[in-house]
Amino acid sequence: MYKCVFEDDNILIVDKERNISVHPGAGNKDNSLMDLILSSGKYGYLGIINRIDKDTSGLVLIAKDGFTHMALEEKMKAYEIKRKYVGFVYGIFDLCAGKIETKIIRSNSDKTTMVASSTIGKDAVTLYKVLNSFFSEISFLEYQLKTGRTHQIRVHMRHNKTPVIGDHKYSKGLSLILKETPQDVQNLLKSFRKQMLHSKYISFEHPVTNHLVEVEAHLPDDMKILLDKLIQVSH
């Protein structure tokens, strides 16, 4: 479900699997990440700093006391917590690195869905770097978030017409026909029911000790299998 990758007196950082909500919600009353950690009986206070989607894997930063919680929230607002994700998308990019900058607002037709806008909503900035591309149809990207909007990377990838592989919510209506990708790779891609997106890196100055905290998480097994397969078949 999750594993601890860093802990001291003030801070806990865990690497969560997909299919776990960070907070309790409708239809998920007692199986959230918060519930699972609290059920250990080790913690009296937990404050989530970076919220990631239920079906996104990777690092979640948690404060263990009120002072640290407030201090880390202020660092988030000041963009002093560096966060990187990696993900697989359909499509390729003209540039090896770039920036997607829009506003993001909740959809009028579906309140669980966010949409990119040029005029209304909250500012959203995503930096991306192409780590690898395969068959001129699939890209492996690293993202750095400059803002933290709901579903930000997924919304920006849809806006760019390069949706995250396995993200069925934000790929609806987009043409995803693969002509050059081998059939065995296509079959593997079709097997993914969750988005191939992973919160892999967090760094910040510790609000109590002032030391640099820097944590990186390994790829989950399915993303590692996909990357190995793409590299193997494309060579």
Question: In this predicted model, what pLDDT tens digit does every residue of 62-75 receive, in sequence order?
Answer: 999 999 999 999 99
Pick the range with the lowest mean pLDDT from 24-38, 85-99, 140-154, 208-222: 24-38
The DSSP line for 192-216 is --S--EEEEEEEEE-TTT--EEEEE
124-135 pLDDT tens trace: 999 999 999 999
Residue 198 pLDDT greater than 90, yes or no: yes
- Mean pLDDT of the region 90-102: 96
Is 0.85 surpassed by the pTM of this model? yes
Q: What is the pLDDT of residue 176?
A: 85
- Alpha-carbon gap, residue 33 to 31, rounded angstroms: 7
Residues 6+ apart with CB under 8 A from 78: none
Is 53 one of the catalytic residues?
Answer: yes
Q: What is the DSSP letter of 96?
A: S
* Domains of the chain, first to last: 2-234 (3.30.2350.10)
Residue with tokens 């918060």: 34
Phi, psi at 167, each rounded to 5°: -90, 85
Task: Choose, from 8, 35, 53, 228, the residue flagged as catalytic.
Answer: 53
